[in-house]
Structure 1
Amino acid sequence: MNIKSNKEASIGMTWRIIGIFGGGIAVLFVLFILSLCFGEAKIPATTVLEGLLHRRQDVMEHNLLWDIRMPRTVIGILAGAALAAAGALLQTITKNPLASSDTLGINAGAYFMVVLGMVAFPAMQHQYPLLLSAAGGLLAALAAYFLSGGKTATPVRLALSGMIVSMVLGAFTSALHIFYKTETQNLFLWGAGSLIQLDWDGVKYAWPFVVALLGVAVFAGRQFDALELDESTSRSLGQRVGLTRAVGLGISVLMAAVVVSVVGPIGFVGLVAPHLVRLSGIRKHRLLIPASALWGALLITAADTLARMVRSNVGEMPVGAVMAIIGAPWLIWLVLTKMKNISGSGSGQSSMSIGGAALRMRFAPTAIFMTILLIVIILVSLSLGGTRIPIADLLGSLVHGGDQSYSVLLNLRLPRTLVAAEGGIALAISGVLIQSAVRNPLADASIIGVTSGAGFGAMIVLVAWPGLTIFALPFAAIAGGVVAAAFVFFLAWRKSLNPSVLILLGIAISAIFSAGIQVMIVKASLWSSSSFIWLTGSTYGRGWDQFYSLFIFLLVLVPLAYYLGRKFDLLAFGDESSTGFGLPVRGTRLWAMILGVLLAAGAVASVGTIGFLGLMAPHAVRMMIGHHTRRSIILSGLLGGLMLVIADTIGRTIMAPTEIPSGLIIMLIGAPYFLFLMYRSLVRR
């Protein structure tokens, strides 16, 4: 009986292998032909086949086919194969189903180094592009892996660490784009993931690396198989586990770096393709790696063909954005259906502390001191800028008793400074509420997709109806943030709004809206405009309209959040304990998320997409007073307002009359601090 069942299983596996490889090759061939047919001008399939078999130099379609479209299609196949194989290896090395070159930050690291190389050492970037991108990718992968806890990392922690590393590197990349517009302008389209090739140079550069690295990975397949076992078992079988992991990581980083250096960062291929293959039952790496490479090539070719088939009136979408739109739903499906223990267990998994004892500062004196400090900083901010106002004249102008020559200047600076304070207050309190809801101190509006959703809503107005910007922008940003959050809540409801599920779904939704933002920036050529500056977070040109609208948000939502603060405190004890206290956990978590989302969306509508502030302020307050939601709401709000006013002041004075977006300053300050928080979190575990 066992012999018969084993034989049937063997036959079944054989047919699955035939289906994976035979079916994949057949579909890839069809997509290969289709990709050659579509473009600026359609070429009939018969002409494509004729050109492939018998090229004639005097036929324009044949020249277009071989000189433009073939290099693009071939580089897509190579890129898809490399990214998918890298994803399969990374998932094995980390024993984590969410590992890939984009979730580990490899793509972001390689992209940052290429942009930095173009600015700082263009000669080296031109001669050794792989060296720079590989160095950036390797450092990013190591940072994400070790900050997530290494071999003990849970899927959600690895995904969160990779996203954080990507955000940090993205902050510095954005700074380079803003300060060096001319040098990096051509890299923005490339940074969205573009297969456009003008000749065969990219293919000639990439194919030897991709083929050689794939060959090494397949040849070492048995060693990678051993990593699927328990580490002690692998060592008892004579396997050098550490060396195998290092080789696998090196191969993965090099393959991703080759791709990024030629076509830019493309996400989700390394996540989707290996899972498709593993669902068929293939586990041995000598089959898994080539099968993943085949289906990765198929995915990229399909995405690129789809982008060309559905061209809009402004052109085709970057393939990186198309893959995000395809891959993010896959991540959602994976989280909701295939991942059972995504949050892990043990200490530290759901704690609201990430290392370090609270200073136990007294609340009332601290609140009074921070309030006075915020008022003083606002007055100092009003006095600084391209034209400096003496404090005495400033106070006189404010009370209409002094030199009135500064009144016009104050009418520009005063609402701007107050909007910065309000925006910082809203973002910081939003961070407190969202962190309470998901029970994770490393979460904020950007992690659960609200920031990118609000940015996408605002970009629709900026691109489609620029004349309505002043009136429609806040409503569009709020609507975008609410829609993004609603998607996350709706999908996570069946999982009882599990904190880990919320974070992973937020990452997926954020990827979709970020892809939309990229498309609009590229197609509307906004990378050097005020719209792109607004996306990094800017208080430039803010007036009394923004002040009054954000003031209404704070006036309504902050007292409500304070009133519910005692209930939010109980969420930190875990679902079972909170339920034991009689707390309706799902409803309370939903209220915290709703209030946090509305505050974040209102802030984005007024000051743009500012990252890290909603992470830093609540954590700094917890270090001062410990976990106490009501007190954290007050102190975090004051600290957030203080930080954004200081950033706004620095931005408009340090390089006056040129202004640095305040959101960029917050990111540059927050990025190293945030990595420090991740390190503290790791040490505490």
Structure 2
Amino acid sequence: MLVAGLVALALLAFLSLTQGLADITVHTVIQSLIHPQDLPDHQMIRAVRLPRTVMGLLSGAALAISGALMQTVTRNPLASETTLGVNAGAYLAVVAGTIFWPALLHQFAFPFAVFGGTLAAIMVFVLGGGRKSSPIRIALSGMIVTLVLSSITSAFMLLNQQATKGLFLWGSGSLIQNDWDGVQFTWPWILGGTLVIILMARQLDLLTLSEETAKSLGQRVIRTQALAMIGAIILACVSVSVVGPIGFVGLIAPHLVRLSGVKKHAWLIPICAIWGAAVLVGADTISRTIVDAYGELPAGAITAAIGAPWLIWLAVRTSGKGGSVQRSSDAMTIGGLSKRIPFSVYVWGLSLLLIVVWGLSLTSGAMRIPLADVLAVITGGGNELNQQILLDFRLPRLLTAGFAGIAIAASGSLLQSAIRNPLGDPQIVGVTSGAGAGALLIMIAFPALPITWMPVGAMAGGLAAAAIVYAVSWRSGLQPTTLTLVGIAVSAAGSAMINILIVKADLKAAPALAWMAGSIYGREWGEVLQLLVTILLLLPLAWWLGRKADLLSFSDEVASGVGLSVRRTRLFVAVLAVILSSVAAASVGVIGFIGLLAPHAARMLTGHEHRKSFVISCLLGGLLLAIADWIGRIVIIPNELPAGIVAALIGTPYLVFLMYRTSRSKVS
């Protein structure tokens, strides 16, 4: 592995020097390295391409070592700087520093990144259940924390477009280097950190044993774990502070090395560094090989496209080694209210609250319209200006928000039943990103088509993502653990596709971020109609599935024992969820958290009976997205915040509540 890695790295590094917009021959590259002259081509290679390649080598090595350490410390094969939220936390810290403390960030970008990455890792660790958490909980917790932090980052960037100009490409992970400054900053940290970690090899080897065995051999387990995790975060954040968040390198390289039989960390760490460097330099080489046809693509998108199939394979492999057994710790149960309130009270109360929010939304905006005038327009009167504002703009917008929220919450409720995990969400299991990629593909690849074709693309993308998830998971019996892990991988691939499409189409960062964050701006009656038809057709069917969905909450053996066709039912429930979330994504963009929070809150209020919790979930979803859109319109008039970002910010306190309740519960 050592020799093969060195050979692969040398070949890829040399190949990367030959790729780019400028047509430079192999002979010129060799000559510039051995006998440099004052020629334009030689200057291009030594001042632009060579530092970019060296930066890729350093960043790849740092990310791979970071992933290997995280997997050792957590004893979790899915742990990496991506799944533990370190990339997202570091990215948020750098963006916040760019906006609020630009001079300080210029001097101390690295401490900013370390601070953000460390906080994110702590959040994932606590939300996942602490030291005894399972791989699936860590993966889902990391996905949730990443979504929260990404939403906050998007809000900062949209509200400060001038200050964050140019950060979109960097935020996708880019190795573009115009000089040696990045290399000069990172190499002492990465080389020094690697040497320190190699010196800790014996202690790291003992961490692979059980905690009791390690302690009996004199190991201070907690101290070693803390030092190793700090080293992993520092290495990852060194990379992020220069080249942005690049995912999956820390997942691919350590697994590749461990599969070859390398176990001892004295060998594992340096070989992981070599293969991590090879993976990232290779990904960047691919992005520059196709630069003439597709433009400059971020290396982070290429590594995500490579890493997603790897995670899918890992999910299938894990399920084959007992991962198919759904552990109680894989779910996040927060219990319910100690005193039940009648179901009808919830229905009428939430319906009334939704009407109140709709009324406030119609009266609010850049131009305030009194409630009496709103009622006059709705009943067929009112002046012409109010009629135009309300009937052409505000009314279709608020109905779109309400109906989309209902569809997303219904989808989340169905998906959580299908995968038997209340952390399930259309965005987490890949459906939303697939639908977003499909809609963008229609918009970019077929610009002549009318906008009415976007729902078709979204539906196709969502169904394609779901088809991949279910096809890969079928052999494991559609087990919830495998379904969720494959969904996370497909979600990452869909997000990479979205980034590639945005860069390829040269879309401006602000509109692209707004669409990806879920914007209801400018929605018309066409979106209202397609959402209304979807809801009227599918929601009664989803409600009718109540008894079967309740049986899915038991183990597959119990459900089969009472006569339920588990695979068929799980597939049917998931198809309904996919259609609902895909239509919603086509109408309002990529909106997360509604499908996670609404079903959670509904079960807390009504219990686990599907039909009751499903109705309350739909009402909560419509209410949450309507409130999010209303707040987004009025909080920074005349500008607006996308509803998806506001929904994520609203949901963050609830996630903190979940973290608190989970930390107090016993993890089996």
* Contact kept? 1:188, 1:522, Cα under 8 Å: no
Deviation at 1:397, TM superposition (A): 1.7
Q: Residues 140 and 343 (structure 1 numbering): CA distance in 2 closer, same or farther, change over 3 Å?
A: farther
Name 2:477's counterpart in structure 1.
Answer: 496
> Given the superposition, is the C-alpha separation of residues 67 and 401 from structure 1 closer, same or farther in structure 2, using an over 3 Å criterion?
closer
Which residue matches 1:192?
172
Please state if 1:562 is matched with 2:543.
Answer: yes
How far did residue 232 of structure 1 move?
A: 1.1
Aligned counterpart for 2:360 among listed residues 380, 384, 398: 380
Task: State percent identity of aligned pairs.
Answer: 49
Which residue is 1:112 aligned to?
92
| 1:249 aligned onto 2:215 | no
Matched, 1:285 2:268: no
- Of 128, 132, 142, 1:152 maps to 132
Larger CA deviation: 500-509 vs 646-655: 646-655
1:517 to 476, 498, 504: 498
Q: Could you list the per-position Cα deviations for residues 373-417 of structure 1 after superposition, in whole angstroms to 9, with x for gaps in the alignment?
A: 222322232122222222222212211245555211221211111
| SS of the residue 1:292 aligns to | helix
Tell me whether 1:229 sits opposite 2:233 in the alignment: no
Q: For 2:67 and 2:28, how far apart are their aligned partners in 1?
A: 37
Letter in 2 for 1:129: A
Confirm or deny: 8 A CA contact 2:70 2:80 kept in the other structure.
Answer: yes
- Cα separation, 1, equivalents of 2:208 and 2:118: 23
In structure 2, the residue matched to 1:435 is 416
Q: Is the 8 A contact 2:531 2:584 kept in 1?
A: yes
Is there any run of 5+ residues in structure 1 with no aligned partner, and where?
A: 1-19
> 1:131 maps to what in 2?
111
Partners of 2:244 and 2:510 lie apart in 1 by 22
Contact 2:85 2:143 in 1 (8 A): yes
> What's the counterpart of residue 60 of structure 2?
80
Instruction: Point out the more displaced range, 78-87 or 668-677.
Output: 668-677
Cα distance, 1:463 vs. partner?
2.8
Structure 2 counterpart SS, 1:468: coil
* CA–CA separation in structure 1 for the residues paired with 2:207 and 2:29: 45
Q: Find the residue that maps to 2:166 and give its secondary structure.
A: helix
2:380 is aligned, of 384, 400, 404, to 400
- Is this contact kept in 1: 2:109–2:241, CA < 8 A? yes
User: Shift of the alpha carbon at 1:530?
Assistant: 3.1
State how far apart, in whole Å, the 2-side matches of 1:404 and 1:127 are: 57
Partners of 2:396 and 2:602 lie apart in 1 by: 27
CA distance in 2: counterparts of 1:101 and 1:533, whole angstroms: 26
1:665 correspondence with 2:666: no
- Residue of structure 1 equivalent to 2:370: 390
Amino acid at match of 2:472: L
Larger mean Cα displacement after TM superposition, 42-51 or 242-251: 42-51
**Aligned pair in 2 of structure 1 residues 346, 528: CA closer, same or farther (>3 Å)?**
closer
Instruction: Please name the residue that 1:549 is paired with.
Output: 530
Residue identity in the other structure for 2:159: F
Q: Which residue of 2 aligns with 1:597?
A: 578
Q: Which residue does 2:402 correspond to in 1?
A: 421
Letter in 2 for 1:612: F
Give SS of 1:183's match: coil
1:100–1:270: 8 Å Cα contact kept in structure 2?
yes
CA distance in structure 2 between the aligned counterparts of 1:52 and 1:387, rounded to whole angstroms:
65
Q: Please give the alpha-carbon distance, in whole angstroms, between the structure 1 residues aligned to 2:173 and 2:577.
A: 33
Instruction: Quote how far apart the aligned CAs of 1:585 are.
Output: 1.1
Distance 1:654 1:641 in 2: 20
Partner of 1:460: 441
Moved more, 526-535 or 433-442: 526-535
Aligned counterparts of 1:273 and 1:29: Cα–Cα separation in 2: 16
Does the 8 Å contact 1:488/1:505 carry over to 2?
yes
Of residues 114-123 and 373-382 in structure 1, the stretch that sits farther from structure 2 once superposed is 373-382
- In structure 2, relative to structure 1, the CA distance for the partners of 1:336 and 1:283 (3 Å cut) is same
**1:358 CA drift (Å):** 5.5
Give the deviation of 1:126 after TM superposition: 0.4
1:450 to 431, 435, 446: 431
1:341 & 1:139 partners in 2: Cα distance? 32
- Aligned pair partner of 2:623 in 637, 642, 651: 642
CA RMSD in angstroms comes to 1.6
For the structure 1 residues 403 and 301, does the alpha-carbon distance in structure 2 shift closer, same or farther, using more than 3 Å as the test?
Answer: closer
164, 183, 187: which one aligns with 1:207: 187
* Residue among 259, 265, 274 paired with 1:294: 274
**TM-score in terms of structure 2 length:** 0.97
Deviation at 1:33, TM superposition (A): 1.1
> What SS does structure 1 have at the residue aligned with 2:165?
helix
Q: Report what 2:69 is aligned to.
A: 89
Letter in 1 for 2:532: F
| Alpha-carbon distance between aligned partners in 2 of 1:662 and 1:92, rounded to the nearest angstrom | 39
Correspondence for 2:285: 305
Moved more, 402-411 or 196-205: 402-411
**Cα shift at 1:311:** 2.4
2:451 counterpart letter in structure 1: I
* Correspondence 1:470 to 2:451: yes
- Cα contact 2:335–2:604 (8 A) shared by 1: no
- Counterpart CA distance in 1 for 2:303 and 2:288 is 13
Cα deviation for residue 34 of structure 1 reads 0.6
**What residue number does 1:536 align with?**
517
Q: Kindly state the Cα deviation for residue 676 of structure 1 after the two structures are TM-superposed.
A: 2.4
Determine if contact 2:118/2:233 at 8 Å carries over to the other structure. Answer: yes
Residues 463 and 524 in structure 1, CA contact (< 8 A), matched pair in contact too: yes
User: Which range moves more in the overlay, 636-645 or 309-318?
Assistant: 309-318
Q: Distance in 2 between matches of 1:52 and 1:543?
A: 60
Q: Describe the SS at the equivalent of 2:341.
A: coil
In the alignment, structure 1 residue 270 sits paired with structure 2 residue 250:
yes
The CA deviation string for residues 209-248 of structure 1, in whole angstroms up to 9 with x for no partner, is 0000000011110010010111111111111111111110
Deviation at 1:24, TM superposition (A): 1.2
SS at match of 2:164: helix
Structure 1: how far apart are the matches of 2:303 and 2:15? Answer: 18
TM-score, normalization by structure 1: 0.94
Q: Does 1:34 align with 2:12?
A: no
CA shift in 2, pair 1:541/1:67, >3 Å? same
Paired with 1:318 and 1:519, the residues of 2 have a C-alpha distance of 7
The one-letter code matched in structure 2 to 1:362 is P
